[in-house]
């Protein structure tokens, strides 16, 4: 994603000073230094992979430049803050989805922490009983499209070997409003790891349409 000029079709090697300038430029705008994913998306820096090859990685580069911050964002304070954010957000987002599902399908029909394997170890966020065969919902909130792919791989792995797939749809519901269904579909269609039959990745708008097509179960009361 680099805007850098090429000379005679050849890439001019980035210098340490240029990288420092690029990082500081990012810092001025964001008040923090970029992660690998953000470096990839940033026009004034080479890709994280290029930094890996030429400078031994982002961690090594930060160390070399002496930016006065923690060098490795995978551990330490940065990681702690990230974990806190993830946990809080996951709780909030799951609660939101729960309330919306209950509003449409009724409290008795929305089961939380649904076990879909016999060993009772693996579970999904929700199972909803409806007039059809019901459906399963796994909610998540990735901070980027790149991360969405990562999350998806984890989920695909988790659901491998579960026999439930053909019995009802399994929906991976991503709740980041800035990620559009179109981007998701493109990513999913290009993935090496394919979704299994009956698995879908949706953003909220698409999921709402899906829900409208599912009729709430009518319970006969004596």
C-alpha span between 154 and 151 (Å, rounded)? 5
Q: Which is nearer to DNA, 60 or 167 (CB)?
A: 60
CB of 213 to DNA, least distance (A): 24
Q: Which is nearer to DNA, 147 or 167 (CB)?
A: 147
CB of 39 to DNA, least distance (A): 7
The radius of gyration computed from the CA coordinates of the chain, to the nearest angstrom, equals: 22
3-class DSSP state of 124:
strand
CB of 197 to DNA, least distance (A): 18
**Dihedrals phi, psi of 128, to nearest 5 degrees:** -115, 125
Closest among 144, 137, 155 to 93, alpha carbons compared: 137
Tokens of 104: 């449409």
Closest among 19, 24, 27 to 2, alpha carbons compared: 19
Asked whether the beta carbons of 139 and 155 are under 8 A apart, the reply is no
Q: Which is nearer to DNA, 158 or 214 (CB)?
A: 158
CB of 72 to DNA, least distance (A): 6
Which residues of the shown chain bind DNA in the complex (CB under 7 A)?
1-2, 9, 11, 35-37, 40, 46-50, 52-53, 57-60, 72-76, 78-80, 82-84, 86-87, 89-90, 93, 121-123, 125, 138-144, 146-147, 149-155, 157-158, 187, 190-193
Q: Which is nearer to DNA, 67 or 217 (CB)?
A: 67
């Amino acid at each position: 994603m680099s805007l850098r000029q090429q000379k005679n079709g050849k890439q001019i090697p980035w210098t340490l000073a240029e990288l420092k300038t690029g990082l500081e430029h990012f810092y001025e705008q964001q008040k923090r230094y970029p992660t690998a994913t953000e470096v990839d998306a940033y026009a004034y820096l080479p890709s994280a992979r290029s930094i890996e090859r030429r400078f031994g990685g982002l961690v090594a580069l930060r160390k070399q430049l002496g930016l006065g911050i923690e060098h490795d964002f995978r551990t330490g304070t940065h990681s702690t803050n990230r974990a806190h954010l993830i946990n809080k957000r996951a709780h909030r987002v799951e609660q939101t989805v729960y309330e919306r599902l209950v509003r449409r399908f009724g409290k008795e029909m929305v089961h939380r922490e649904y076990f879909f394997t016999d060993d009772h170890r693996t579970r999904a966020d929700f199972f909803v009983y409806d007039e059809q065969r019901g459906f399963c919902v796994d909610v998540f909130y990735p901070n980027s499209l790149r991360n969405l792919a990562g999350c998806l791989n984890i989920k695909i792995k988790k659901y491998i070997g579960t026999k439930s797939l053909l019995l009802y749809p399994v929906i991976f519901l991503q709740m980041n409003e800035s990620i559009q269904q179109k981007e998701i579909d493109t990513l999913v269609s290009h993935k090496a790891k394919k979704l299994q039959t009956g698995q879908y990745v949706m953003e909220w708008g698409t999921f709402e349409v899906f829900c409208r097509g599912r009729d709430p179960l009518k319970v006969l009361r004596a």
